[in-house]
Amino acid sequence: MKNVSFSDYKKIKGMSFNNFNRWVADFWKASYEEGLREGESELDNADGDQWMEFIRNTPGSEEVVDFLGSSDELYELLLTVPGVGVTLAERIMERIEGYGRQ
């Protein structure tokens, strides 16, 4: 596979510096958008594990997502925090997602 066709190569050779810069910017944008569409289509039918793997491999995700787990796992994690008992943990869960324990 060739990255640039021969006709593009010939066109590029005859471009001015400014035209070449515009061509490169357009080429980069089109390539980025194509890759983005391909990546999105790969996740269209993804299950939970595939989404979790995607999130873990996304640069910067550790700054956005500190906890990846179920509501029950979060509830159990809250109970390990000193000073957080069952009542407070339930109130926190209710605020987060309307979570209610019987």
Q: Which positions of the chain have pLDDT values less than 50?
A: 101-102
- Residues 65-80 have pLDDT tens digits of 566 678 888 888 889 8
- Phi then psi dihedrals of residue 18, to 5 deg: -65, -40
Written as six digits, the tokens of 92 are 């926190």
Cα-Cα-Cα-Cα dihedral sign, residues 19, 24, 29, 35: positive
- Residues 77-89 have pLDDT tens digits of 889 888 888 998 8
CA pair distance 19, 34, nearest whole angstrom: 22
Are the CB atoms for 48 and 66 separated by under 8 Å?
no
